[in-house]
Structure 1
Amino acid sequence: MPPSFRPSIGLQLMSTTKAVSRALDSALAAEGSSLPIWLIMISLKTRRLSNQRELAEAVGVRGATLTHHLNTMEHEGLLTRRRDPANRRVHLVELTEKGEATFIRLRKAAGAFDRRLRAGLNAEEIAAIEHVLAKLDDNVRRGRPT
């Protein structure tokens, strides 16, 4: 590689994203869970979702992948699925008491992980990271010219 080579922002961001994702998944695995399950739980707790299709979109997975995770979570007693009485083709998904307790436990693990990420950063640096990430997201979503 030539000495003047600098990886693109996209490659640096992808590499960092993969490292952070793996580390968060490991932190959640230590609590007996996984990143996909945590993402499903966060979506169920923080968004007004009316069906599994919306949940899949919120989590960022395909319907079949979501179904696999929901089957596992239902088998473990973390959630229930029932048909919507107004539309029998739609499944409503809700956390059980065990799911709520698991959410609280995972929220603590995710909070500890977030504190680990923020270690050594001051408020201005964190604000700058949030600002830059929001701009990058906006650039991608708007399809800004290359």
Structure 2
Amino acid sequence: MAPRTGGSAFTASAPVDTPGCDGAPASVGPELRLSLLLARHGGSTDARIREALTTSGVTPRHAIVLMHLDGGRIGQRDLGTRLGVDPSVLVTLLNALEDRDLVRRRRDPADRRRHIVEITEAGVAAATKLGAAIGRVEDELFADLTAQERDTLHALLARVRTTQGGVCEGEADTDL
């Protein structure tokens, strides 16, 4: 057996081509598993985005909230639905953004039980800077892709099921 060299679990290796009972390869190298490839690239992308946002003091989640609000004011419950977060998590995010004067919450005059969330001028300026920082990260990440390939990747990733809500009734939930 050859000595093992250092490296991460995601280092490229040739897939094992010893056939199994059905004639298919008995195992597949990790670089051929889409979920592992996506996880590796997701982790790297997250780290790059966090680094790009470091100087702003805003987290990626805060940036996403600001980007949603940049299109106009929205009800707090609707914002939580769009973001797919628990109301308590949304309140924590909004509190942090409100403390920095990036968003404002107020009661809806038509329905006092409802809160309206809107971005402030400072929030718009921050969203613009955050968008530019994320754009630079994307330009680096996707430099080897054409515009058409980027569009195709975007369309494909938009169809990937990453939440439990996408599981059909009767399908088994499995944990990795």
Instruction: Please say whether Structure 1 and Structure 2 have the same fold, judged by a TM-score greater than 0.5.
Output: yes
Amino acid at match of 2:98: E
Q: Deviations over 1:13-43 (max 9, x none)?
A: 2332232122212211223211011100111
Q: Which has the higher helix share?
A: 1
Displacement after TM superposition at 1:45 (Å): 1.7
Displacement after TM superposition at 1:142 (Å): 7.1
Which has the higher relative contact order, 1 or 2, with Cα contacts under 8 A spaced 6 or more apart?
1
Structure 1 vs Structure 2 CA RMSD: 2.8
Partners of 1:129 and 1:23 in 2: how far apart? 19
Paired residue for 2:64, among 17, 33, 39?
39
Q: Deviations over 1:60-112 (max 9, x none)?
A: 32211111111111111111100111221211011111111111111211111
State the match for 2:124 in structure 1.
100
Q: Return the index of the structure with the highest Cα Rg.
A: 2
Partners of 2:44 and 2:116 in 1: how far apart? 34
Residues 55 and 122 of structure 1: CA distance in aligned 2, closer, same or farther (over 3 Å)? same
Unaligned residue ranges in structure 2 (runs of 5+): 1-8, 17-27
TM-score (norm 1): 0.81
Partners of 1:50 and 1:102 in 2: how far apart? 18
Unaligned residue ranges in structure 1 (runs of 5+): none
Instruction: Work out the percentage of aligned pairs sharing the same amino acid.
Output: 30
For this pair of structures, how many residues does the alignment match? 143
TM-score (norm 2): 0.68
Displacement after TM superposition at 1:3 (Å): 4.7
Partners of 1:77 and 1:117 in 2: how far apart? 32
State the match for 2:35 in structure 1.
10
